[in-house]
Structure 1
Amino acid sequence: MHGVRAMLALSVVLLVGWQGDWSWQVMPVMLGVVASALTETDDNWKGRLRTQLIAVGVFALIAGLVSLTQPWPALLAGALALSAFTLTMAGAVGERYRAIAFASLVFFSYVALSMQSSRMAARQLTPYLFGGVAWYGFVSVIWAGAVARPPVRHRLAQLYALLGEYLKLKSRLLEPIRDVDIEQRRMALALYNGLVVDALGAAKEALFCRLGRRTPPGWLQQALHQYLAAQDIHERTSSSHANYETLADAFFRSDALYRCQRVLALQGEQCLKLSAAIARRKPPQHKGATARAIEDMQGAITVARQTLPPGSALQALQALGANLTEQAAVLAQVLDPAPTPTERTLVNSHPTTLKEAWHRVKAQLRVQSPLFRHAVRLTLALLAGFALMMATNDKHGYWIVLTITFVSQPHYAATLKRLSQRLTGTLIGLALGWALIRLFPGDLAGSVLIAVSGAVFLGARRTHYTVGTGAITTLLLLAFHQLGMTDGVIVGRLLDTIAGGSIAALAAWLVLPTWQARQWHGLAAATLRRQAQYLDEVLRQYQAGKQDHLAYRTARRNMHKADAALSNSLAAMLKEPARVRLNTDGCGQFLLRSHTLLNYLSALGAHRGEPGARALDATTLETATALRDALRRLATAIEAARSQRPEDWRFELGAVEAPGFDVVPEAPLQQLVRAQLGLAIGVLGQLVGVVPGFRGERAQQR
Structure 2
Amino acid sequence: MWRRLIYHPEVNYALRQTLVLCLPVAIGWLSGDLQKGLLFSLVPACCNNAGLDTPHKRFFKRLIVGGSLFAFSSFLIQYLGEHSVPLPAILFAMAMLLGVTGEISPLHARLLPGSLIAAIFTLSLAGRMPIWEPPLLYVLGTIWYGVFNWFWFWLWKEQPMRETLSLLYRELADYCEAKYTLLTRLTDPEKALPPLLARQQKAVDLIGICYQQMHMLAANRDSHHKRLIRAFQVALDLQEHISVSLHQPEEVQKLVEKSHAEAVIRWNAQTIAARLRELADDILYHRLPERFVMDKPLGALEKIARRSRDNPVGQFCYYHFSRIARVLRTQRPLYQRDLMADRQRRLPLLAACKSYLSLKSAALRTAARFAVMLTFASTLAMFFDLPKPYWILMTVMFVSQNGYSATRVRIQHRALGTLAGLIIAAVALRLHAPEAMVLSIMLVITLVSYLVIRKFYGWAMIGFTVTAVYSLQLLSLNGADFLLPRLMDTLMGCMIAFGGMIWLWPQWQSGLLRQNAHDALGTYQDALQMLLGNEQDPVKLAYQRMRANQAHNALFNSLNQAMQEPGFDSNYLTDMKLWVTHSQFIVEHINAMTILAREHTMLTPALAERYLQSCEIALQRCQQRLEYDGPGSDTNVLEDGQRDFHQGPVTILERHVRRILDHLSVMHTISSLAWRDRPHHGRWLSRRLKKAPETKGSKHREKREGSGQA
Same fold (TM over 0.5): yes
Question: 1:545-584 CA distances to partner (integer Å, 9 max, x unpaired)?
Answer: 5x542x3333222211111111111111111113466711
Q: Secondary structure of 1:271's partner?
A: helix
Q: Does 1:622 align with 2:633?
A: no
* Alignment partner, residue 16 of structure 2: 5
Quote the offset at 1:597 in angstroms.
Answer: 1.0
Q: Does 1:22 align with 2:33?
A: yes
Q: Are the counterparts in 2 of residues 386 and 401 from structure 1 also a CA contact under 8 Å?
A: yes
* Alignment partner, residue 192 of structure 1: 199
C-alpha distance in 2 between matches for 1:533 and 1:359: 31
* Alignment partner, residue 464 of structure 2: 472
Do the aligned partners of residues 371 and 322 (structure 1) sit closer, same or farther apart at CA in structure 2, a change above 3 Å counting? same
Q: Does 1:142 align with 2:122?
A: no
Q: Does 1:325 align with 2:322?
A: yes
Q: Are the counterparts in 2 of residues 531 and 559 from structure 1 also a CA contact under 8 Å?
A: yes
* Alignment partner, residue 561 of structure 1: 550
273, 292, 296: which is aligned to 2:296? 292
Q: Are the counterparts in 1 of residues 26 and 37 from structure 2 also a CA contact under 8 Å?
A: no
Do the aligned partners of residues 538 and 86 (structure 1) sit closer, same or farther apart at CA in structure 2, a change above 3 Å counting? farther
Do the aligned partners of residues 603 and 658 (structure 1) sit closer, same or farther apart at CA in structure 2, a change above 3 Å counting? farther
Do the aligned partners of residues 104 and 194 (structure 1) sit closer, same or farther apart at CA in structure 2, a change above 3 Å counting? same
Residue pairs, 1:618-697, within 5 angstroms: 618-630=605-617, 633-634=620-621, 636-638=623-625, 640-641=627-628, 644=629, 648-649=631-632, 653=637, 656-657=641-642, 664=649, 671-697=651-677
Do the aligned partners of residues 167 and 437 (structure 1) sit closer, same or farther apart at CA in structure 2, a change above 3 Å counting? farther
Q: Are the counterparts in 1 of residues 421 and 462 from structure 2 also a CA contact under 8 Å?
A: yes
Q: Does 1:613 align with 2:613?
A: no
Residue pairs, 1:423-442, within 5 angstroms: 423-434=415-426, 437=429, 441-442=433-434
Q: Are the counterparts in 2 of residues 27 and 479 from structure 1 also a CA contact under 8 Å?
A: yes
Q: Are the counterparts in 2 of residues 425 and 466 from structure 1 also a CA contact under 8 Å?
A: yes
184, 190, 197: which is aligned to 1:176? 184
Superposition TM-score, scaled by structure 1 size: 0.87
Residue pairs, 1:158-307, within 5 angstroms: 158-173=167-182, 175-177=183-185, 181-211=188-218, 214=221, 216-217=222-223, 219-249=224-254, 251-283=256-288, 288=293, 290-305=294-309
Question: 1:249-290 CA distances to partner (integer Å, 9 max, x unpaired)?
Answer: 5544432244224322332222222111211223456785x4
Residue pairs, 1:237-636, within 5 angstroms: 237-249=242-254, 251-283=256-288, 288=293, 290-305=294-309, 310=310, 314-334=311-331, 341=336, 343-351=338-346, 353-354=348-349, 357-358=352-353, 361=356, 365-367=358-360, 371-395=363-387, 397-434=389-426, 437=429, 441-455=433-447, 461-483=453-475, 484-539=477-532, 543=534, 545=536, 547-549=537-539, 551-579=540-568, 583-610=572-599, 612-614=600-602, 616-630=603-617, 633-634=620-621, 636=623
Q: Secondary structure of 1:208's partner?
A: helix
Quote the offset at 1:680 in angstroms.
Answer: 0.6
Further displaced range: 223-232 or 484-493? 484-493
Question: 1:364-416 CA distances to partner (integer Å, 9 max, x unpaired)?
Answer: x335x655443333322211111121122235621111111111222222211
Long gaps (5+) in structure 2: 1-11, 683-710
C-alpha distance in 2 between matches for 1:559 and 1:158: 22
C-alpha distance in 1 between matches for 2:220 and 2:269: 38
Question: 1:456-483 CA distances to partner (integer Å, 9 max, x unpaired)?
Answer: 5566555543244233222211211222
Q: Secondary structure of 1:695's partner?
A: helix
Do the aligned partners of residues 453 and 533 (structure 1) sit closer, same or farther apart at CA in structure 2, a change above 3 Å counting? farther
Do the aligned partners of residues 212 and 570 (structure 1) sit closer, same or farther apart at CA in structure 2, a change above 3 Å counting? closer
Q: Are the counterparts in 2 of residues 204 and 346 from structure 1 also a CA contact under 8 Å?
A: no
Residue pairs, 1:67-146, within 5 angstroms: 67-71=78-82, 75-115=86-126, 118=127, 120-146=129-155
Instruction: Give the superposed CA RMSD.
Output: 3.1
C-alpha distance in 2 between matches for 1:387 and 1:613: 67
Do the aligned partners of residues 155 and 15 (structure 1) sit closer, same or farther apart at CA in structure 2, a change above 3 Å counting? same
C-alpha distance in 1 between matches for 2:337 and 2:133: 58
Q: Does 1:65 align with 2:65?
A: no
C-alpha distance in 2 between matches for 1:480 and 1:46: 38
Aligned length: 668
Quote the offset at 1:36 in angstroms.
Answer: 2.1
**Amino acid corresponding to residue 366 of structure 1 in structure 2:** L
Quote the offset at 1:701 in angstroms.
Answer: 7.1
Long gaps (5+) in structure 1: 665-669
Q: Secondary structure of 1:78's partner?
A: helix
C-alpha distance in 2 between matches for 1:535 and 1:91: 34
C-alpha distance in 1 between matches for 2:225 and 2:355: 31
Q: Are the counterparts in 2 of residues 407 and 422 from structure 1 also a CA contact under 8 Å?
A: yes
Quote the offset at 1:633 in angstroms.
Answer: 2.2
Question: 1:79-136 CA distances to partner (integer Å, 9 max, x unpaired)?
Answer: 2112223434522432321222221121121112222xx2755544443343222211
Do the aligned partners of residues 399 and 695 (structure 1) sit closer, same or farther apart at CA in structure 2, a change above 3 Å counting? farther
Question: 1:655-677 CA distances to partner (integer Å, 9 max, x unpaired)?
Answer: 5328858565xxxxx81111111
Further displaced range: 530-539 or 433-442? 433-442
C-alpha distance in 1 between matches for 2:354 and 2:538: 31
Do the aligned partners of residues 435 and 129 (structure 1) sit closer, same or farther apart at CA in structure 2, a change above 3 Å counting? farther
C-alpha distance in 1 between matches for 2:274 and 2:656: 28
Quote the offset at 1:501 in angstroms.
Answer: 0.4
Quote the offset at 1:73 in angstroms.
Answer: 6.5
* Alignment partner, residue 667 of structure 1: none
Identity of aligned residues (%): 18
C-alpha distance in 2 between matches for 1:661 and 1:322: 27
C-alpha distance in 2 between matches for 1:568 and 1:410: 13
C-alpha distance in 1 between matches for 2:73 and 2:458: 29
Q: Secondary structure of 2:679's partner?
A: helix
Q: Which has the bigger relative contact order, CA under 8 A and spacing at least 6?
A: 1
44, 47, 63: which is aligned to 1:36? 47
Do the aligned partners of residues 83 and 696 (structure 1) sit closer, same or farther apart at CA in structure 2, a change above 3 Å counting? farther
Do the aligned partners of residues 650 and 569 (structure 1) sit closer, same or farther apart at CA in structure 2, a change above 3 Å counting? farther
Do the aligned partners of residues 46 and 186 (structure 1) sit closer, same or farther apart at CA in structure 2, a change above 3 Å counting? closer
Do the aligned partners of residues 189 and 32 (structure 1) sit closer, same or farther apart at CA in structure 2, a change above 3 Å counting? same
Q: Are the counterparts in 1 of residues 593 and 653 from structure 2 also a CA contact under 8 Å?
A: yes
Quote the offset at 1:510 in angstroms.
Answer: 2.2
Q: Secondary structure of 1:583's partner?
A: helix
Q: Are the counterparts in 2 of residues 37 and 458 from structure 1 also a CA contact under 8 Å?
A: no
Q: Does 1:52 align with 2:32?
A: no
Question: 1:199-228 CA distances to partner (integer Å, 9 max, x unpaired)?
Answer: 1111222222223664x31x4111111111
C-alpha distance in 2 between matches for 1:276 and 1:202: 19
Do the aligned partners of residues 319 and 661 (structure 1) sit closer, same or farther apart at CA in structure 2, a change above 3 Å counting? farther
Q: Are the counterparts in 2 of residues 238 and 599 from structure 1 also a CA contact under 8 Å?
A: yes
Q: Are the counterparts in 2 of residues 28 and 129 from structure 1 also a CA contact under 8 Å?
A: no
Do the aligned partners of residues 512 and 355 (structure 1) sit closer, same or farther apart at CA in structure 2, a change above 3 Å counting? closer
C-alpha distance in 1 between matches for 2:17 and 2:612: 55
C-alpha distance in 1 between matches for 2:151 and 2:97: 31
